[in-house]
Structure 1
């Protein structure tokens, strides 16, 4: 009985150290999760930069027009995007609903949309701050 429990622990998806050639569904799921975690960390790093810029821009903003500021608009957009991302990726995974492949589909979708959002935030930062398009260095 103890051997069986140890065997199952050894097969746990989180036990994958490298994701060069995952072969089992558990390994593929774990690697997809690792990839999403990487993309999410990058998004959070870019988010901090954009959020900092938005707060500084608000300090210089004339609020007499009744519109929301940069930071408020940015936060509302990010919250709406997070709701969209999570709901959309849940929907995309329904072909494998309840199956062992569902986490792979969810995490692949989350990674793709998160990488796209990170690029959008980089573009926003560069274009809003400088006024002309250019490339922001990767973080």
Structure 2
């Protein structure tokens, strides 16, 4: 029994163990930007691996939903990170901001794909929601989730809304997520 648990733990956490992120330190903008780009490329490599792995396990209908969600997510990621770049351009740190944005959004999507494949990892959001709720919602997680869902309902970014809609349809189908919890999780991890 213990051996089986060890094997499961290694399979689940092996991608995280093998992902080596570089701490971007230093005072030269060019080096910081290059480091941020390398981190994004590493994250993107693992995201693509997770996507292919999940895709292979899905029914044809769920594959269509995943493809739609991924396309909307890519559009959202590109426009959001271009916005991060534009907000600081012509400053020297514009490139750092863009690559860091791409990396952070990609890491969040990678975790979401892992959750959709295995059902493992959703507790991370609930732990964070419980902490926030403790300080701002008198310990009522439902209130915090409701606020996140309400915030999502006000969002006018069609790429984001379509991504969340398709992603949550898949989460409901695959891991029996509750729609409000899925929407709240997406909004919580939004860049």
Compute the TM-score of the two structures, normalised by the length of structure 1: 0.67
> Runs of 5+ in structure 2 lacking a partner?
1-21, 120-170, 178-191
Structure 1 121/105 Cα, relative in aligned 2: closer, same or farther at 3 Å?
A: same
Aligned-residue offset at 1:102: 0.8
- Which residue matches 1:32? 36
Query: 3-state SS of the aligned residue for 1:109?
Result: helix
Query: 3-state SS of the aligned residue for 1:23?
Result: coil
Report if aligned partners of 1:46, 1:122 keep a CA contact under 8 Å in 2: yes
Write the distance in 1 (CA, Å) between the matches of 2:70 and 2:48: 11
Which structure's residues are more often helix, by fraction? Answer: 2
Alignment coverage as a number of residue pairs = 104
Report if aligned partners of 1:22, 1:31 keep a CA contact under 8 Å in 2: no
Report if aligned partners of 1:92, 1:106 keep a CA contact under 8 Å in 2: yes
Coordinate RMSD, CA, aligned: 2.2
Q: Which has the larger radius of gyration?
A: 1
The higher relative CO (CA closer than 8 Å, separation ≥ 6) is in 1
> What are the Cα deviations for residues 19-66 of structure 1, in whole angstroms up to 9, with x where unaligned?
664320000000000010111011011011011112xx23xxxxxxxx
